[in-house]
Amino acid sequence: MSLFDDDFFSTKVSGKVKRRWQERETGTGWTLGKTTQSGRRWSTVQVAIVSSVISALSAVILYSWIVGTGSVTQPVAINRTGTVDPYDRIVTVADKVGPAVVSIVNEQKRVAAEADEEKDTNLGSGVIIKRDDGKAFILTNEHVVQGADKLEVVLSNGQRKNAELIGKDRVMDIAVLLIDDAGVSTVAEIGDSRRLRLGETVVAIGNPLGLGGSLTAGIVSYTNRLIPVSLNQDGVYDWEQRVIQTDAAINEGNSGGALVNLQGQVIGINTMKIATTGVEGLGFAIPTNEVMTVVDEIMKTGKVIRPYLGVYTVDLTNPYAPITEEQRNDLKLPQDVKNGVIVLEATGPAKKAGLKLNDVIVRFDNETIGQTRDLRKYLYEKKKVGETMEVHFYREGKLMMTTVQLEDKPQQAG
Whether 142 and 175 have beta carbons less than 8 Å apart is answered as yes
Predicted local confidence at residue 70, as pLDDT? 41
Predicted local confidence at residue 128, as pLDDT? 97
Q: Which fold has domain 192-301?
A: Thrombin, subunit H (2.40.10)
Predicted local confidence at residue 226, as pLDDT? 87
Predicted local confidence at residue 3, as pLDDT? 37
408 forms beta bridges with 307
**Averaged confidence pLDDT in the chain:** 81
Predicted local confidence at residue 272, as pLDDT? 73
Whether 186 and 236 have beta carbons less than 8 Å apart is answered as no
Predicted local confidence at residue 246, as pLDDT? 94
405 forms beta bridges with 388
Predicted local confidence at residue 17, as pLDDT? 44
The ranges assigned to domains in the chain are 96-180, 192-301, 307-408
374: how many CB neighbours lie within 10 A of its CB?
21
Where residue 53 falls among pLDDT bands split at 50, 70, 90? Answer: low
* Positions marked catalytic: 143, 173, 255
DSSP 133: T
Where residue 105 falls among pLDDT bands split at 50, 70, 90? Answer: very high
In percent, how much of the chain has pLDDT > 90?
55
Q: How far apart are CA 286 and CA 79, in angstroms?
A: 34
pLDDT at residue 11 greater than cutoff 50? no
pLDDT at residue 163 greater than cutoff 80? yes
Predicted local confidence at residue 25, as pLDDT? 47
Average pLDDT estimate for 16-23? 47
Torsion angle defined by CA atoms of residues 91, 95, 99 and 102, in that order, rounded to the nearest 10 degrees = -10
**Which element (helix H / strand E) includes 16?**
helix 15-24
Predicted local confidence at residue 386, as pLDDT? 94
Predicted local confidence at residue 90, as pLDDT? 92
pLDDT at residue 383 greater than cutoff 60? yes
230-263 pLDDT tens trace: 777 766 677 888 999 999 988 888 899 999 999 9
Where residue 193 falls among pLDDT bands split at 50, 70, 90? Answer: very high
Where residue 41 falls among pLDDT bands split at 50, 70, 90? Answer: low
* Equal fold, 192-301 vs 307-408: no
pLDDT at residue 23 greater than cutoff 90? no
Where residue 50 falls among pLDDT bands split at 50, 70, 90? Answer: low
**Highest-scoring range by mean pLDDT, 5-14, 35-44, 80-89, 215-224:** 215-224
pLDDT at residue 228 greater than cutoff 70? yes
Query: Positive or negative CA dihedral for 333, 336, 341, 347?
Result: negative
Q: How far apart are CA 275 and CA 285, in angstroms?
A: 10
**Which element (helix H / strand E) includes 50?**
helix 44-68
3-state secondary structure of 144: helix
Predicted local confidence at residue 221, as pLDDT? 94
* Correct CATH for 96-180 of 3.40.50.300, 3.40.1440.60, 2.40.10.10, 2.60.120.10: 2.40.10.10
**Which element (helix H / strand E) includes 49?**
helix 44-68
pLDDT at residue 81 greater than cutoff 90? no
Predicted local confidence at residue 395, as pLDDT? 96
**Which element (helix H / strand E) includes 374?**
helix 372-382
Q: How many CA atoms lie within 13 A of 404 on its CB side?
A: 32
Predicted local confidence at residue 69, as pLDDT? 42
Where residue 213 falls among pLDDT bands split at 50, 70, 90? Answer: confident
Query: Positive or negative CA dihedral for 162, 138, 147, 311?
Result: positive
Residue 353 carries which side chain, given as an amino acid letter?
Answer: A
Average pLDDT estimate for 312-336? 86
How remote is the C-alpha of 182 from its chain's centroid?
29
pLDDT at residue 146 greater than cutoff 50? yes
Q: What is the DSSP string of 64-115?
A: HHHHHTSSPPPPPPB-TTSSB-TTHHHHHHHHHHGGGEEEEEEEEEEE-TTS
**Which element (helix H / strand E) includes 44?**
helix 44-68
3-state SS record for 238-262: CEEEEEEEECCCCCCCCCCCEEECC
Q: Residues 307-408: name the CATH superfamily.
A: PDZ domain (2.30.42.10)
Of the two residues 14 and 241, the one the predictor is more confident about is 241
Predicted local confidence at residue 209, as pLDDT? 78
| 169 closest CA partner among 292, 305, 304, 268 | 304
Q: How far apart are CA 102 and CA 212, in angstroms?
A: 8
366-378 pLDDT tens trace: 999 999 889 999 9
Q: How far apart are CA 134 and CA 180, in angstroms?
A: 6
Whether 321 and 314 have beta carbons less than 8 Å apart is answered as yes
pLDDT at residue 224 greater than cutoff 70? yes
Whether 367 and 390 have beta carbons less than 8 Å apart is answered as no
Q: How far apart are CA 220 and CA 335, in angstroms?
A: 45
pLDDT at residue 169 greater than cutoff 80? yes
